[in-house]
Amino acid sequence: MPRKASGRATTSRKQQHVEITLTKDVRFKRKSTGFERLEFVHNALPEINIADIDTSTEFLGRRISLPLMISCMTGGYAQALVINRNLAEICESHHIAMGVGSQRQALESKDFHRTFRVVREVAPTIPIVGNIGAAEVAQLTSADPVQRLVDLIHADGFAVHVNPLQEFLQPEGNPSFRGVLDGIAMLVHQLPVPVIVKEIGAGLSASVVRRLYEAGVRHIDVAGAGGTSWAGVEAIRRKDRSFGEGFWDWGIPTVEALRQAAALRAEGLEFTLIASGGISSGFDIAKSIALGADLAASARPMLIALHEGGKRKINMLIGRWSNELRGVMFLTGSSNVADLRHAPLVTASLP
């Protein structure tokens, strides 16, 4: 049986993850998201005014200004308090959704509950998403521990991140996944908020999405390959770095994962589809919507912007992405997000 990590070990690991993603090149080396191979068909007669374009959408019962979430990143160690407060304040000011990092540490210890609780304190009106790992879910006998995490941040939804690759490579990982699907089904039926199931950068295949749907999950985040390689992060953390090198580019590219999930919706399966994994511009958000997603989520670019230039830089980043999204909508004749879902994409003509 894998050794259960202490609260202190979890805290240290969380801090290391943030430091590595900020200071090391943990992008995929040979594999991309696939977004660069797609482009929109230009519409020279859009027949709309750009001032009339509505980029807002609904997520978890709340209206947000953009189909965008700052995705699950951190919490559970001292320095995370400032990071999460700043991110939450930014999300509230732009009126976009936010997810917190894994709350496993909050189950193990109350020491850093404030690093999670602060998010709702400063962001009272936006969708907030909680988060726990699949290995922890497999061990649950009731939803009560997760309910406490929901209550901690007054979450509108709760994400279970399925990360077998990371658990396999993590020096102190727990690659014990028997029972995960049953645990997820239990949470779906017992929690008062929607359960979101997400990968963390290796993608969800159509067969996995179908199994999740059959278990009752109605919110899917494909979190595909091509952005941050968590295999790379764990390879850097290992003393024997060569062990993880071969898995650095493992995973389903984001565009392919989106296409597979969207095909299931075309068959009649109804679920909210979130695109993440290498989202790095308003163009990527727009392409995600056109591929079938309801919204997109991004983590590392936001964290880097906050680290390098504080709130000013991340506000500029979100503003640029918003303008890019609005420009794509104008140039495809899409007056709202629903229209953008029908904007045609073709293989890019440029090399």
Instruction: Calculate what percentage of the chain has a pLDDT beyond 70.
Output: 96
pLDDT reported for residue 120: 98
As given in the structure block, the two tokens for residue 223 are 């979190």
Structure tokens belonging to residue 23? 């200071």
Question: Using CA atoms, how far apart are residues 291 and 274, in angstroms rounded to an integer?
Answer: 11
pLDDT average, residue stretch 134-148 = 96
What number of residues does the chain have?
A: 351
| Burial class of 276 by CB neighbour count within 10 A (0 to 12, 13 to 18, 19+) | buried
Q: The domain 16-347 belongs to what CATH superfamily?
A: Aldolase class I (3.20.20.70)
User: Cα 150 from chain centroid?
Assistant: 17
Find the farthest-apart pair of alpha carbons in the chain and give their distance in angstroms, rounded. Answer: 63
In contact, 200 and 168? CB cutoff 8 Å = no
pLDDT given at position 73:
74
Q: Which two tokens stand for residue 241?
A: 């770095």
| pLDDT tens string 229-287 | 999 999 888 877 778 889 999 999 999 999 999 999 999 999 999 999 999 999 999 99
First to last CA, the chain: 50
For residue 320, is it left (φ>0), alpha (ψ between -120 and 50) or beta? alpha
* Distance in angstroms (rounded) separating the CA atoms of residues 79 and 300: 17
- Chain-centroid distance of CA 250 in Å reads 18
d(CA 23, CA 229): 14
Q: Model-level pTM greater than 0.85?
A: yes
Residue 118: pLDDT over 50: yes
Residue ranges covered by each domain of the chain: 16-347
Average pLDDT, the chain: 93
Residue 147's pLDDT is what?
98
Q: Are 199 and 163 in contact (CB under 8 A)?
A: yes
- Residue 180, both tokens: 């995960």
pLDDT(7) > 70: no
- pLDDT bin (cut points 50, 70, 90) of residue 149 is very high
- The answer for 223, left when phi > 0, alpha when psi is -120 to 50, beta otherwise, is left
| Residue 200 CB contacts under 8 Å (≥ 6 apart), including other chains | 161, 162, 163, 166, 223, 230
| E strand or H helix that includes residue 38 | strand 38-40
List pLDDT tens digits, range 298-326. 999 999 999 999 999 999 999 999 999 99
Q: Confidence band (pLDDT; 50, 70, 90) for 8? A: low
- Model confidence band, residue 351 (pLDDT cutoffs 50, 70, 90): low
C-alpha torsion sign, points 84, 90, 93, 94: negative
> How far is Cα 337 from Cα 319, in angstroms, rounded to an integer?
17
